[in-house]
Structure 1
Amino acid sequence: MSRSFEIVTESAASVDQIHAAFVREDYWRDRVAGDGSSTLDSLRVDADGVVDVQITQHLGRQILPALVANFVPGDLKLVYRETWRPTGDGTVRGQSRVLASGGLGSTRAENWLTPTGAASQLRATGKVEVKIPLVGGKLEKSIGSSLEASIPATLRYTTRWIAEHT
């Protein structure tokens, strides 16, 4: 079973400013720098401004609940992939996906950055799926709640980063 989510948050930065940050390697390096367990694996930007980034987060077994650790054959690794593409109408459309090692679950989302005057709005809709018997539903709910906090926090980080780097 999976759990759906929808998150809407706003930024004082414009869509163009946010997209301009997304094409910069220093933005992504700074974004993962505060988390010693994450690495920037790749960043590709094509001539049309399409951004494709991959980040891996290495999580030790010690942070997992005991029941969940029984299903994880080693340390847990989350591979995060994010793609952003300008649509030509002032909007930037994104897709994000997180895959947990061992096929334990995934998160996927469709994202839209749209202008709201000089500012912007981010809308993310998606699904969380955890494939662990007995606790999967509880973990999906917990991950969904975490996304409700982390997606707006990431946009706030991006807004601050833009203010400090432009």
Structure 2
Amino acid sequence: MQFDYTHTYATTPDKVVDLMRTEEFIDDVATHAGAVSHTVEVGPEKTLLAMKLPVPESLAKFVGATISLEMTFRFQPPAADGSVTGTVDVDVAGLPVDVAARALLTPTGGTTVAHYAGTLTVKIPLVGRKVEKQVEPFIRDAFGGLERRAAAWLAR
């Protein structure tokens, strides 16, 4: 299943990347996502957020009461025009779910338009497509949480 999300951040692309590499910010994202538990690792090559989240009742019959999700963010240095490319990968532990997105952060006169496009694949025979449709809002909410928390942090 293809997905395409667009976010707007009230700062430049390099500052968005700085925020995504701030442990306290990523910790805040997990807390506001309702994580039962989480860990954050920030390094020069990537930012990793691993969290255990409660799942909607509609998915519980497939995956149980909680789901272990890892989001890995990788960003390249800014290009000459100030844009930044990167990737966001989501791994769901113990499940045949793969989420891979390309990120493009584009400066737009003092703000940044972030475009995340990629694929969500659930490799379960016979019910994979049905589960993809149920998982997609969960993944959209995870991406949306980044935008909401960034707006709060940037407004400080």
Report the TM-score when normalising by structure 1: 0.77
Of structures 1 and 2, the larger Rg is shown by: 1
Task: Name the amino acid aligned to 2:48.
Answer: Q
CA distance in 2 between partners of 1:38 and 1:23 (Å): 20
Is 1:79 matched up with 2:85?
no
Secondary structure in 2 matching 1:20: helix
CA RMSD of aligned residues (A): 2.6
Match of 1:40 in 2: 39
Query: 1:43 offset after TM fit, Å?
Result: 0.9
Percent of aligned pairs with the same residue?
Answer: 23
Secondary structure in 2 matching 1:65: helix
Report the TM-score when normalising by structure 2: 0.81
List alignment gaps of at least 5 residues for structure 2: none
How many residues in Structure 1 have an aligned counterpart in Structure 2? 153
**Residues 28, 40 of structure 1: 8 Å contact kept:** no
2:125 is aligned, of 128, 133, 139, to 133
Is 1:24 matched up with 2:16?
no
- Range 145-154 or range 123-132, more displaced: 145-154
Match of 1:124 in 2: 116
Q: 1:23 to 1:101 in 2, by over 3 A?
A: closer
Is 1:144 matched up with 2:136?
yes
Task: Name the amino acid aligned to 1:58.
Answer: K
CA distance in 2 between partners of 1:133 and 1:100 (Å): 17
Runs of 4+ in 1 over 6 A off after TM superposition: none
